[in-house]
Amino acid sequence: MDFVQTITLPALGSHLLVGLSRAMILFVVTSGMSFVLGVLRVPNVAHGSLYMIGAFAAFSISNLFGGGSTGFWLALILSPFVVALVSLIAERSLFCHLYEREHLMLLLFTFALMLILGDLVKLVWGADYRSIMAPEYFRGSVTLFDAPFPRYNLFLLGMGPLVAVGLWLFSNKTKIGKIARAAAVDREMVGAIGINVSWVFAFAFVLGCFLAGLGGALVAPTVSITIGMDHDIIMEAFLIVTIGGLGNMWGAMVGSLIFGITQSFGILFLPQFAIVFPYLAVVIILIWRPTGMLKSVW
Amino acid sequence: MSKGIFSLKSFGPAAIVIALVILPSIIPRFYIYILAVIFVTALLAMSLNMVVGHGGMFQFHHGAFYGVGAYTVALMLTKTSLPMWVGFVAAPFVAAFVGLLIGLFCVRLSRLYFGMLQIALGSLIWAIAFRWYSFTGGDDGIHGIPLPSLISSTTGAYYFGLILLIISLIVIYLIFKSPFGATLQAIRDNPERCEAIGINVRRHQLIAIVIATFFAGIAGVLFVVVEGSVFPDLLFWVFSLEIFVMCLLGGWFTFAGPILGAAIMISLRTFVGIYTEYWTLILGIMLILLIFFLPEGVWGYLAEKFGFQRKKLLEKERQ
């Protein structure tokens, strides 16, 4: 438990940047989870598995098109759709029949889905470590705060806000987005004015899972893709949406920032216990504001 | 009819206990071990069901208390020179104390937030146990824990587990049937009305959590006795959800359901695990079948079908 690094201003700055880029990945994943939570009011435990599928799909698609720049971009665009398809099948075949049941059953269903998808990934892709390369222009690093900062992380820093704005525009400016938000508040009323609530829910679920897949595809070049990714991310995602305020997209953003930054500062201050810091932050926030930082849509 | 129920009710458990006492002299050692694991898990599932089934609270991270109990024994036996029994006695109390601390924060919150906060706090414990190599052994855990010679053999552990399980079950049953248990179930069914008639809902819930975590601590002690080791997976949230599934599988509105659920899960895992490495796939499919076809659990289904529980009588009374 010794301080291995001298803590200087540039070190703080570069860790802040690392934390921010981690937060952007977390945000892309948790915004989807938050959206599902907001509309369906179910914490989707399988969200992490879909994120993992997104990463594996990115690997396969990238390989299919021979890696390189084309492979990377196609993987980034197509793998969220693969994940969306998987979730659509699960939703229409099984999940949609449970909407009338109590919430715990919905939650346990998503847990079952997590167990099944986890093993299916093992069946399809095996237990090996996989990795994909970012295109030429995203490799290497630039110098920021006297420290090397990976170029790809700059790309991530751009993607996070892009997804945030996109999701905001979608849920506030489009008709289907407005319907989804209305269904979140009062599903009976939405049903009463002649909208098929079941399909609205299906749409919200698939959109949330699409974002999980996008997060997986985005994270793929920076990590080794392997089974077990789902367990790590889902825990973090759960806690982020909780401290942010259930169902609140900007809450997911705030939560992701807190989580990512405490994690990277943890590495700076006390490397051995780096994973403890975010949990500690979560505990403090929940004791201080039990229902999260921002207003929950519930 | 009520006489038939009565005789069946007292005869059944007694026969099972006698069978379990005789069994180790007949069956091979491997099965003795599996039964001992079932005892541990059954006690854990029963303790969880006190909060989830009887109390209606979303106790999502029950494994944390189980792990705290197990780690307490393991650390006391390996790191201190105190007499061995001190560790065994201390573990449930430490688990209950952690339960009290976490419960204090959790009972303030509504259902899902309750579960989420508990996952956060439980994961904090997991993260510490997972990382503190010099104290908890990190992700390797602690192995080769010295146990008293009386209970270090498989058969010894089996009988120790059986005795503790029976005592615990009797105590849990008495609590279940006590006015406190009845109040708890009333809170589960309608918290607002209970509040209105002057029941301190939060205090009852907190007491239930403390009692349940105490028994989870006992289950943790038993785990150390049976396995002789501890590792951070005990504290991991996936395991906690598996205990949850055991309660559902057995039937959480029944008293003995979780025991059945634990027995089914452990047996399936053991014997399916021999043939395939895709155990979680099978567990997932099983859970989906359960949600769609047996929402009351196996025991609940049997009880409804054959009417050997009070549920039918109650329904008749209502009509």
- What confidence tens digit (pLDDT) does each residue in A81-91 have? 999 999 999 88
CB of A98 closer than 8 Å to CB of A40: no
Q: Can you list the domains of chain B with their CATH numbers?
A: 2-318 (1.10.3470)
Residue A40 within any structural domain of the chain: yes
Does A104 touch chain B if contact means CB atoms closer than 8 Å?
A: yes
Using CA atoms, how far apart are residues A51 and A215, in angstroms rounded to an integer? 6
A108, A125, A240, A287: best to mutate for the B interface, most B CBs within 10 A: A108
Using CA atoms, how far apart are residues A290 and A242, in angstroms rounded to an integer? 9
Residue A227 within any structural domain of the chain: yes
Using CA atoms, how far apart are residues B1 and B309, in angstroms rounded to an integer? 11
Is the pLDDT at A4 greater than 60, yes or no?
no
A and B: number of Cβ contacts within 8 A: 105
Lowest average pLDDT, out of B75-79, B91-95, B174-178, B206-210, goes to B75-79
Using CA atoms, how far apart are residues A275 and A264, in angstroms rounded to an integer? 9
Residue A163 within any structural domain of the chain: yes
Residue A112 within any structural domain of the chain: yes
- B248's CB contacts (< 8 A; 6+ apart) are A108, B261, B287, B290, B297
What's the domain count of chain A? 1
Residue A69 within any structural domain of the chain: yes
Residues of A in contact with B244 (CB under 8 A): 108
What percent of chain A clears pLDDT 70, i.e. is strictly above it?
97
Alpha helix positions (H), B178-309: 179-189, 191-196, 201-227, 237-250, 257-275, 279-293, 297-306
B261 is written with which tokens? 């659920």
Cα atoms found within 13 Å of the Cα of residue A47, Cβ hemisphere only: 30
Lowest average pLDDT, out of A139-143, A154-158, A222-226, A250-254, goes to A139-143
Using CA atoms, how far apart are residues B170 and B238, in angstroms rounded to an integer? 29
Using CA atoms, how far apart are residues B207 and B230, in angstroms rounded to an integer? 28
Does A124 touch chain B if contact means CB atoms closer than 8 Å?
A: no
Residue A115 belongs to what domain range? Answer: 9-129+142-288
Q: Write the DSSP symbol of residue B40.
A: H
Using CA atoms, how far apart are residues A95 and A203, in angstroms rounded to an integer? 13
pLDDT at B5: 47
B103 is written with which tokens? 């419960």
What is the CATH number for A265?
A: 1.10.3470
CB of B47 closer than 8 Å to CB of B215: yes
Q: What's the start-to-end Cα distance of chain A, in Å?
A: 42
Using CA atoms, how far apart are residues B153 and B173, in angstroms rounded to an integer? 30
Is the pLDDT at B287 greater than 80, yes or no?
yes
Is the pLDDT at B310 greater than 80, yes or no?
no
Task: Using the Cα atoms of residue A282, residue A284, residue A289 and residue A294 in order, give the sign of their dihedral.
Answer: negative
Using CA atoms, how far apart are residues A60 and B99, in angstroms rounded to an integer? 46
In whole angstroms, how far apart are CA A74 and each of A79, A134, A150, A282, B249? 8, 12, 22, 36, 43
Residue A295 within any structural domain of the chain: no
Phi–psi pair at B277, nearest 5 degrees: -90, -5
Using CA atoms, how far apart are residues A13 and B10, in angstroms rounded to an integer? 70
Average pLDDT over residues A61-84: 86
Average pLDDT over residues A149-164: 86
pLDDT at B4: 46
Using CA atoms, how far apart are residues A245 and A185, in angstroms rounded to an integer? 15
Q: What is the pLDDT of residues A101-150, one digit of tens each?
A: 777 888 888 889 998 998 899 888 888 888 887 777 777 777 777 777 78
Residue A241 within any structural domain of the chain: yes
Beta bridge partners of A147: A144
Interface list for A 206-235 with B (CB within 8 A):
231, 235
pLDDT at A256: 92
Interchain contact, A286 vs B280, CB within 8 Å: no
pTM greater than 0.90 (yes/no): no
Alpha helix positions (H), chain A: 9-40, 47-64, 68-93, 103-125, 151-173, 175-185, 187-192, 197-219, 229-244, 249-269, 276-288
Using CA atoms, how far apart are residues A34 and A208, in angstroms rounded to an integer? 8
- Residue in A101, A119, A276 nearest the CB of B127: A276
A47, A52, A93, A111: best to mutate for the B interface, most B CBs within 10 A: A111
Interchain contact, A242 vs B287, CB within 8 Å: no
Residue A134 within any structural domain of the chain: no
B61 is written with which tokens? 């991270």
Using CA atoms, how far apart are residues B240 and A125, in angstroms rounded to an integer? 27
- A250's CB contacts (< 8 A; 6+ apart) are A164, A244, A294
